[in-house]
Amino acid sequence: MKRAFEKPAMALLSRCLTHALNRYRSQVVLLALLGCGTYASAQETFPVNGIADPREGCFAFTHATIVKDAQTTLQNATLVIRDGKIIAADPGAVIPKDAVVLDCKGKYIYPSFVDIFSSYGLSEAKRGGSSWNAPPQFLSNTKGAYGWNQAIRSEVNAVDLFTGDDNKAAPLREAGFGTVLTQQPDGIARGTAALVTLATVKENKAILREKAAAVYSFDKGTSTQNYPNSLMGCIALLRQTYLDAQWYKSQPAKEGVNLSLQAWNANQQLPQVFEAADKWDVLRADKIGDEFGVQYIIKAGGNEYQRIPEMAATKATFILPLNFPGAIDMEDPADARFVSLADMKHWEMAPAEAGAFEKANIPFCLTAADLKDVKQFMANVRRAIAYGLSEQKALEALTKTPATILKAYDKVGSLEAGKLANFLIASGPIFSDKTVLYQNWIQGNRYIIKSDGWNDIRGIYTVTLTPGNSYSVEVRGTASAPLLSVLQKDTLPGRIDVNGKLVSISLPLAKNSKSSIRLSGIISGNSWAGTGADTSGNLVKWSAVFVSNTTEKAEPIKKEPAPVMGALLYPFNGYGWEKLPKQEDLLIKNATVWTNEKEGKLENTDVLLRNGKIAQIGKNLSAGNARVIDGTGKHLSAGIIDEHSHIAISKGVNESSQSVTAEVRIADVLNPDDVNIYRQLSGGVTASHLLHGSANAIGGQSQLIKLRRGQNAEDLKVANWDPFIKFALGENVKQSNWGERNTVRFPQTRMGVEQIYTDAFTRARDYEKQGPGKRRDLELDALVEILHQQRFITCHSYVQSEINMLMHVADSFHFRVNTFTHILEGYKVADKMKAHGAGAGTFADWWAYKMEVQDAIPYNAAIMHKVGVVTAINSDDAEMARRLNQEAAKTIRYGGVSEEEALKMVTINPAKLLHVDNRMGSIKVGKDADVVLWSDNPLSIYAKAEKTIVDGIVEFDRDNDLLLRKRIAAERNRLTQLLLSEKKKGTPTQKAAFVADEMYHCEDLQGGHQQAIGY
């Protein structure tokens, strides 16, 4: 008070005003203090500065509609709480004498929500210590007795790092949340998450469970360590860590103390939560879980609705985010061209995810995670409801389900005696868009979200002015946003402004009158009173008395039908199936059949495909039930097999961090949505050998797939296939073209490359001899398989010295190099390759792209073939793979290979190299029905694949392709119009933008690229 008078300006103020101002100041202080003074009982160990203020916080909320849980709604019920806990919640609850009673007539009470995927109260992990041009980092930078990999942070406990943060808590509370499972979202193993409330109490009281779950992901986060730098590397690291942790239980002396593994093991007791980025990551995570007997609770990415049966098969409980993709601005057609149909469809369908999960009976929680602004949360829940989610399920997904899977349903998730006093008071059903959320109570502490409307003043009143007249006035609208009008012959709209119990109103007396009666006063129950000014500005007293309820009818809640959406597509791109096709029996009549067998080329021949196999070859075959395809004037060949491909791979084709990464598997990272599957089918490709890249001497395990458009990753794989692995030699392996900072990884010379192999296989041999109790090493397991001819090598190679070298290494360890790929100097050592038993998969005519290809010649394939090496022509390139038949034809041009032998280089020869020539690669009874009907001689530039058939299914058909184009155009147009109308409605939009498809060549270290050709 004294300070105020020190200011001369203050001295001019009236005494009365000064008092008022000072009271305002102390009010501000009080507000700040209220944050600390809470109803949860004080902590015994904490000293009190001042007078102890123990309170039990006993409240009774009467006459409310209490929704105890999604199944139970009680009318006219009472909720009683004390000491931050629920005492009772039922219609006949006894109101304790010391309870503060709050009348909640007309209001709804719900349990506060639980968000199971939050990082509330945790600071963001920082990436430290490494700049872009730093040299490679082979080991963890984490100091202490922890594990080797920086991305395995199982020792991190959110509870140790947790500090309450009211700024972050407030918006969550406003969205309805009371409790969150919080984690530091950093690393592949993220350690444990803590279950905490959003009350502004000391952390000691806010923490409900210190370690409530363990969390994992495929994202290495802030780790500066090189390994892993691909998705398949992340998966391999997880797998190996499960094994290492198992082994660590035996207290191996060799390992010493490893706090990361120790924590990993301890964390296994907890619910295991896995953050997946999309539907395929969900399946990847679930697969790892299956391998190690873990059922993850899976945080979804938002596009899982595209594969509901697969999601259901995981048996997981899901955590569904609600960050639906924003509308795209399609106004500029030149830019709109760069928005894919898949992205437009995802925009349309994403809000239907939760509804789809409910329909399929897949258990799930909802989370506000991933939302840019948590304020959007309730609106998005409503959107999910509009798209098919039931309100009951929505409530369950925000209360009981998360509480139950965290084993905390005894504490939160419903309104039952004994549970925390975490509840919401709302003006109506919680998910109705008219409903106002008034208060969120957490651990018995009240947080006011909106006070307007708490007192419902709607009704018809008689306002009497003294001196003056009486007026009939109606207050309508909503409780929190009332509207006022004067009831006369013409109803005149006035104004009302309510602030707690204070009210100010203005009453016009005539239509379009500029002056009105202005009144200000207080609401005391059904009678109001105060002072004001009449239209002449004279001071008046006034009062208002409630007469009757308003005549306004409550607007019936319109339930809009769920939006009608376009069809799901398999794969989810423009060229997907609306319904996965069924195998059919087909008879191709009267074609020129290139058998690749001793029968050679058969003219005017029929081929019958039945049950996915080639059933009969001959003339005038009877069709039976088979669909007949006229092959007159056309050519039928076996499907093209690309021995070296990198299509349909997600998030990295190279685990380039170490020289030996035999543990990583392409099989883990297939991307069935890649549009290149369709594009290559249009070029007659039916199977592709998906290889790891060539960044290291021993790369990852490869995967042979068939181009079964629309199937999931597992069903793309060719079953019962001899496993293969990628090796690489030369410039890529020794990092010749990686820039100046990459000069420290061993090896940097071809001499070193040889030693990498010798060392790896020596280690593998010793490993195999180790007795019981050995640490299972997935890298060495793969190498042991090679030693036993149970896994086969495809080796990227260029110059003769290195080719010789690897064959020598193989000889000395008694295994065989199955295939040399690229092998551009194979012609120099073809005799040695033949003697060794190695095959070749090469380019037709590539050269001059780097130093080690200076002696590459287009005659290479012809020479190797003539010397007797099994030779294939392959692509390593998504574009070239579409015309491998033409690349094969170049061996006719360069080296005079016969047409039939040339065709074999992309059919039966790669089948031989991949050990599947007993079922693919030629037209022979009993083999897989993988065939291509060509418009012309398949070796001619003028030949088009008209039909490409895989396992007896017509996967590509040039006539059907025309229909697909029309469908794409129509669907694009439909969605474009929808997006345009969305913009017109005022929905915020984001600019149309191009997103590159994932595409790789074997030397790509990071992303792929759309058109350019890599080294």
Partner 1 sequence: MQTAMKRHLILLGLAIGVHTAYAQETISPALPQDKPVFLTNATIHVGNGEVINNGTIAFSKGKITAVGNSVPAAGSDATILDLKGQHVYPGIIAPESKLGLVEFESVRATIDAREVGEVNPSVRSIIAYNADSKVINTLRSNGILLAQVTPEGGLISGTSSVVQLDAWNWEDAAYKTDNALHFYMPSLLPVASSGRGGASSTDRLKVAMDQVEQVRTFFREAHAYQQESKHAATNLKFEAMRKLFTREQKLFIHCDLVKEMLIAIDFAKEFNLDIAIVGGSDAWLIADILKQNNVPVILTQPHSLPVMQDDDVDQPYKTAAQLQKAGVLFCLSNDGFWQQRNLGYEAGTTATYGLSKEEALTAVTLNAAKILGIDKTTGSLEAGKDANIAISAGDIMDMKSSVINKAFIQGREINLDNKQKQLYEKYEKKYGLK
Write out the binding residues for partner 1, residues 126-145 only, by CB under 8 A: none
Question: Is residue 224 exposed (0-12), middle (13-18) or buried (19+ Cβ within 10 Å)?
Answer: middle
Exactly one of 56, 90, 255, 343 binds partner 1 (CB under 8 A); which one?
343
Close Cβ partners of 339 (under 8 Å, ≥ 6 residues apart):
328, 330, 992, 993, 994
Cα separation, 276 vs 314, in Å, equals 13
Closest approach, Cβ 863 to partner 1, in A, equals 6
Residues 898-917 binding partner 1 (CB under 8 A) are 899, 902
Residues 173-212 binding partner 1 (CB under 8 A) are none
Cα separation, 509 vs 16, in Å, equals 35
**Does 321 contact partner 1 by CB under 8 A?**
no
**Does 1015 contact partner 1 by CB under 8 A?**
yes
Residues 367-386 binding partner 1 (CB under 8 A) are none
Crossing angle between the packed helical segments 259-267 and 231-248, to the nearest 10 degrees: 90
Site string for partner 1, 820-859 (x = CB under 8 A): -------xx-xx-------------x-xxxxx-xxxxxxx
Say if CB 689 and CB 915 are below 8 A apart.
Answer: no
Q: Cβ atoms within 10 A of the Cβ of 182, count?
A: 26
Cα separation, 457 vs 521, in Å, equals 14
> Which of the stretches 20-28, 35-43, 690-698, 891-899 binds partner 1 when contact is defined by CB under 8 A?
891-899
Looking at beta carbons only, is 202 or 866 nearer to partner 1?
A: 866
Looking at beta carbons only, is 806 or 902 nearer to partner 1?
A: 902
Single out the residue of 689, 589, 704 nearest to residue 644, CA to CA: 689
**Does 1005 contact partner 1 by CB under 8 A?**
no
Site string for partner 1, 950-989 (x = CB under 8 A): -----------x---x--x---x-----------------
Looking at beta carbons only, is 577 or 847 nearer to partner 1?
A: 847
CA distances to 311, 530, 738 from 751, in Å: 49, 98, 19
Residues 665-724 binding partner 1 (CB under 8 A) are 675-676, 678-679, 682
Closest approach, Cβ 250 to partner 1, in A, equals 43
Exactly one of 234, 341, 352, 415 binds partner 1 (CB under 8 A); which one?
341
Closest approach, Cβ 880 to partner 1, in A, equals 8
Number of residues that bind partner 1 (CB under 8 A): 78
**Does 741 contact partner 1 by CB under 8 A?**
no
Tell me, what amino acid is at 447?
Answer: Y
**Does 331 contact partner 1 by CB under 8 A?**
no
Cα separation, 757 vs 638, in Å, equals 37
Say if CB 364 and CB 297 are below 8 A apart.
Answer: no
Closest approach, Cβ 882 to partner 1, in A, equals 8
Closest approach, Cβ 234 to partner 1, in A, equals 18
Cα separation, 86 vs 418, in Å, equals 5
Looking at beta carbons only, is 607 or 647 nearer to partner 1?
A: 647
**Does 1013 contact partner 1 by CB under 8 A?**
yes
Exactly one of 18, 130, 340, 392 binds partner 1 (CB under 8 A); which one?
340
Exactly one of 13, 867, 980, 1005 binds partner 1 (CB under 8 A); which one?
867
Say if CB 213 and CB 273 are below 8 A apart.
Answer: yes
Strand partners, 841: 821, 872
Calculate ∠ Cα 693-698-704, nearest 5°.
Answer: 55
Exactly one of 545, 619, 991, 1006 binds partner 1 (CB under 8 A); which one?
991
**Does 541 contact partner 1 by CB under 8 A?**
no
Residues 930-949 binding partner 1 (CB under 8 A) are 937, 939-944
Say if CB 58 and CB 98 are below 8 A apart.
Answer: yes
Site string for partner 1, 757-776 (x = CB under 8 A): --------------------
Q: Cβ atoms within 10 A of the Cβ of 134, count?
A: 10
Looking at beta carbons only, is 228 or 574 nearer to partner 1?
A: 574
> Which of the stretches 154-162, 255-263, 406-414, 893-901 binds partner 1 when contact is defined by CB under 8 A?
893-901
Tokens coding 640: 């093209």
Q: How far apart are the first and last CA of the chain?
A: 79
Tokens coding 345: 């469809």
Calculate ∠ Cα 889-895-897, nearest 5°.
Answer: 55
Looking at beta carbons only, is 30 or 993 nearer to partner 1?
A: 993
Crossing angle between the packed helical segments 231-248 and 778-787, to the nearest 10 degrees: 100
Cα separation, 803 vs 649, in Å, equals 28
Buried/exposed code over 90-128 (b: 16+ C-beta within 10 A; e: otherwise):
beebebbeebeebebeebbbbbbbbbbbbbbbbeebeee
Close Cβ partners of 1011 (under 8 Å, ≥ 6 residues apart):
879
Calculate ∠ Cα 351-353-356, nearest 5°.
Answer: 125
**Does 863 contact partner 1 by CB under 8 A?**
yes
Single out the residue of 119, 118, 562, 165 nearest to residue 365, CA to CA: 118
Closest approach, Cβ 892 to partner 1, in A, equals 5
Exactly one of 77, 237, 342, 780 binds partner 1 (CB under 8 A); which one?
342
**Does 879 contact partner 1 by CB under 8 A?**
yes
Cα separation, 587 vs 608, in Å, equals 4
**Does 362 contact partner 1 by CB under 8 A?**
no
Looking at beta carbons only, is 358 or 825 nearer to partner 1?
A: 825
**Does 46 contact partner 1 by CB under 8 A?**
no
Closest approach, Cβ 893 to partner 1, in A, equals 5
Looking at beta carbons only, is 482 or 1008 nearer to partner 1?
A: 1008
Looking at beta carbons only, is 236 or 677 nearer to partner 1?
A: 677
Looking at beta carbons only, is 346 or 816 nearer to partner 1?
A: 346
Cα separation, 328 vs 318, in Å, equals 28
Closest approach, Cβ 328 to partner 1, in A, equals 9
Question: What are the phi and psi torsion angles at 842 (to 5°)?
Answer: -135, 170
Closest approach, Cβ 943 to partner 1, in A, equals 8
Say if CB 575 and CB 551 are below 8 A apart.
Answer: no
**Does 325 contact partner 1 by CB under 8 A?**
yes
Rg value, the chain, Cα: 36
Closest approach, Cβ 986 to partner 1, in A, equals 18
Exactly one of 475, 697, 810, 889 binds partner 1 (CB under 8 A); which one?
889
Close Cβ partners of 476 (under 8 Å, ≥ 6 residues apart):
458, 482, 483, 484, 485, 550, 552
Site string for partner 1, 211-250 (x = CB under 8 A): ----------------------------------------
> Which of the stretches 1-9, 169-177, 330-338, 619-627 binds partner 1 when contact is defined by CB under 8 A?
330-338
* Omega cis (within 30) before 747: yes
Looking at beta carbons only, is 408 or 856 nearer to partner 1?
A: 856
**Does 574 contact partner 1 by CB under 8 A?**
yes
Decide the pairing of beta strands 839-842 and 819-822.
Answer: parallel
Looking at beta carbons only, is 453 or 693 nearer to partner 1?
A: 693
**Does 337 contact partner 1 by CB under 8 A?**
yes
**Does 892 contact partner 1 by CB under 8 A?**
yes
Exactly one of 886, 907, 948, 976 binds partner 1 (CB under 8 A); which one?
886
> Which of the stretches 336-344, 410-418, 588-596, 634-642 binds partner 1 when contact is defined by CB under 8 A?
336-344
**Does 585 contact partner 1 by CB under 8 A?**
no
